[in-house]
Structure 1
Amino acid sequence: MSNTLFTPFTVRGMTMPNRVVMAPMTRSFSPNGVPGENVVEYYRRRAENNVGLIVTEGTVVDRPGSGNDPNYPKFYGDESLAGWKAVADAVAKTPGKIAPQLWHVGMVRKPGTGHNPDAKSDSPSGLTHTGKSVSAAPTDEDVADMVNSYARSAGYAKELGFDAIEIHGAHGYLIDQFFWDVMNQREDKYGGGLEDRATFAAEIIRECRKAIGEDMPIILRFSQWKQQDYTARLADTPQKLESFLNVFADAGVDVLHCSQRRFWEPEFPEQDENAHLNLAGWAKKLTGLPTITVGSVGLNGDFFEAFQGKGAPAASLDELFERLDKGEFDLVAVGRALLQDPEWATKVKEGRFDELRSYDGKALATLY
């Protein structure tokens, strides 16, 4: 049993009761973008069962083309914010903490979809992941409002009583599209080399800090892979990763949420030293910032198979505990295992490993 997983962790103005993080998992259970009582119950059950920090499902930011499904929750608008206020209030009655994940899908959105079908889809350069031009590159004014849309929603999180915010900069969505040279071919300050392409996210971090003040942590989720290309890599050496991540450190990010499909896979196995480190391990080593590891924790099987209805058997947590105890990373994000079983963290804390369940492949769409 880990001596670390269920110890407190403090970052900026937030103290978590333990190191267990509920990973953000997209669901379409908020009709017209409004989270209801079922969403309140979904998060409450996990917060009262030893989840130290909940990062909510992706919530789309305050810009018309930010979402591509009208049942994704919005993080703007009076009715949607009232629903999120009920969520925050419910979690506040537990020891757990909660952060909304602020999200803009960018060019993943097809025209005519989402909460505002007539809105245009935002992008860095008007290019798809294949390099095809489908619209004009956004103006400076457009990009500025994209940045400020995150800050506006961050400000709402502060007003509603959330404990932190997470900015979704991974998986081929808008911020990650700015990172990726296939989709970002701008010739201004937002384009160029990888550090330059990180400028958009850095501006979002700075504007969000202005909106929420000094006491709330800002988490940035990033990934090498894209949903459009699992083999894509932003940084193919530790040196390039260090330069990239230091842009966010300089902007004032507090925690790096390092998304990979399987947490046990090394990020740079070809290195002579530290070849075993995963993405979160390298991010912590290179920046000194706290990191969250994630990727098939507690299960054997890639999480994308869940979208195909495939199950996954429960897996040993021994390697995870060992790495956490060594300080390779600070926090552990759990996805499908917590989706399937609201009591997962309680069972782990109490050593009830024989009660941990396999993932049945249906929980993503059906379970609360």
Structure 2
Amino acid sequence: MTDLFTPYKLKELALKNRIVMPPMCQYAVEAQDGIPTDWHFVHYVSRAVGGTGFIIVEMSGVHPDGRITNQDTGIWSDDQIPAYRKITDAVHSYGSKIAIQLGHAGRKAQDAEPPVAPSAIPFDERSKTPQALSTKDIDQLIAAYREGARRAVEAGFDTVELHGAHGYLIHQFHSPLTNIREDEYGTDLALFGEKVVKAVKEVLPEGMPLIMRVSAKEYVDGGYDEVYALEFCRRYKDAGVEMFHVSSGGEGPIGSNGGPHAGPGYQAELAQYIGSGLQVPVIAVGRLESYEEAQSIVAGGKAELAAIGRGMLSDPYWALHAEEALGGVAKGNVPKPYERGVWKRK
């Protein structure tokens, strides 16, 4: 039976288990230069020590003004590569694989003066009115995504994930709520994301599978549903995306946490819908802190991989503890200095 601890391979990305640490912003950059710090090193490497198969570094801006805040990481400069290289080398030494999420916050960039977006529509009454991007600006941002991917490869990441969810820039382009342009990017709402995908594929080695995070539905009046999402995901798949990381929300008052009535695995059906509809592998995410719940997602065939967000913020060793709790932990999976604490002798 396939379970959380069954190895998984997609192209040349070979994972020792099906457990993913999804990207979660740390807001811990100290000098506003986008360079990850000792905090980021410890944060990510500890999860590799803790047995996580696949770690995805938080959304890192492809442009300085593309970050949610100035305390977020970036990947717009070659000067940022060495700090990432230090992280990837250490993560690899503990047997885990690591990607980085490339993103641009668009109208949700809090410290940008001004933020930019497909159309000049603020996120809410407290937010700045963004500047609508010109065609030249759009071309430059597509190139920025390409350069971010190039830097990720140079920094030793095993692949990249594009952030097309949670109301950030790519999402803003493919959502009818936020894109009311009259040019080609407004008449074809998936065009920007499609061009970003193709640009990034140009610099990824053949063996690296491109991942994309998407919101499969919007929790707001007039927002799109999973049927609409399936079609723009089809465009992105045709352009080169090989795995989707399926979330929801991000436009309107309900963000990526699903709101007060969201329960464990509340997005798993969305992941299964996208995966089966496009015949692509998917990552399920959303309140999967319970070992048994995460196990059921993979064992039940709803997704190839299960992403554990808040659970891993609480417990860097979630993967080892899950294997112990589910009865499968083996001595070889635990770092030798920790064997007395995690590995239960039979």
TM-score (norm 2): 0.83
TM-fit CA distance, 1:266: 6.3
- Residues 119 and 133 in structure 2, CA contact (< 8 A), matched pair in contact too: yes
Partner SS for 1:202: helix
Deviates most, 80-89 or 199-208 = 80-89
- Residues 224 and 234 in structure 1, CA contact (< 8 A), matched pair in contact too: no
Mapped partners of 1:35, 1:331: distance in 2 = 26
Q: Does 1:241 align with 2:235?
A: no
Q: Does 1:252 align with 2:244?
A: no
Mapped partners of 1:98, 1:84: distance in 2 = 11
Q: Counterpart amino acid of 1:337?
A: G
TM-fit CA distance, 1:188: 2.1
TM-fit CA distance, 1:297: 0.8
- Residues 155 and 211 in structure 1, CA contact (< 8 A), matched pair in contact too: yes
Mapped partners of 1:133, 1:44: distance in 2 = 36
Q: Which sections of structure 1, spanning at least 5 residues, go unmatched?
A: 268-276, 299-314, 354-368
TM-fit CA distance, 1:241: 3.4
TM-score (norm 1): 0.78
Query: Which residue in the other structure is 1:336 paired with?
Result: 310
Deviates most, 63-72 or 86-95 = 63-72
Query: Which residue in the other structure is 2:116 paired with?
Result: 122
Partner SS for 2:212: strand
Q: Deviations over 1:14-58 (max 9, x none)?
A: 111111000111111121222122311211111122211101111
- Residues 101 and 166 in structure 1, CA contact (< 8 A), matched pair in contact too: yes
TM-fit CA distance, 1:146: 1.3
Partner SS for 1:191: helix
Q: Does 1:60 align with 2:61?
A: yes
- Residues 115 and 129 in structure 2, CA contact (< 8 A), matched pair in contact too: no
Query: Which residue in the other structure is 2:276 paired with?
Result: 285
Query: Which residue in the other structure is 2:341 paired with?
Result: none
Q: Which sections of structure 2, spanning at least 5 residues, go unmatched?
A: 249-257, 328-346
Mapped partners of 2:310, 2:226: distance in 1 = 30
Partner SS for 2:241: coil
RMSD of aligned Cα (Å): 2.4
Mapped partners of 2:185, 2:51: distance in 1 = 41
Q: Deviations over 1:50-74 (max 9, x none)?
A: 211101111111x242124221111
Partner SS for 2:117: coil
Taking the TM superposition and a 5 Å limit, the aligned residue runs for 1:222-237 are 222-224=214-216, 230-231=219-220, 235-236=224-225
Taking the TM superposition and a 5 Å limit, the aligned residue runs for 1:92-111 are 92-110=92-110
Mapped partners of 1:43, 1:13: distance in 2 = 22
Q: 1:214 aligns with which of 206, 214, 220?
A: 206
Mapped partners of 1:322, 1:133: distance in 2 = 42
- Residues 179 and 234 in structure 1, CA contact (< 8 A), matched pair in contact too: no
Query: Which residue in the other structure is 2:39 paired with?
Result: 38
Q: Deviations over 1:318-362 (max 9, x none)?
A: 344233213121100000111111111101112269xxxxxxxxx
| Pair 1:75–1:69, CA change in 2 (3 A) | same
TM-fit CA distance, 1:86: 0.8
Q: Deviations over 1:115-147 (max 9, x none)?
A: xxxx54221022223699945532211111111
Partner SS for 1:190: helix
User: How many residues in Structure 1 have an aligned counterpart in Structure 2?
Assistant: 312
Mapped partners of 2:226, 2:91: distance in 1 = 40
Query: Which residue in the other structure is 1:358 paired with?
Result: none
Q: 1:294 aligns with which of 285, 288, 298?
A: 285
Q: Counterpart amino acid of 1:327?
A: G
Q: Counterpart amino acid of 1:45?
A: S
Deviates most, 7-16 or 217-226 = 217-226
Mapped partners of 2:106, 2:157: distance in 1 = 25
Query: Which residue in the other structure is 1:325 paired with?
Result: 299
Mapped partners of 2:129, 2:216: distance in 1 = 25
Q: Counterpart amino acid of 1:5?
A: L
- Residues 171 and 225 in structure 1, CA contact (< 8 A), matched pair in contact too: no
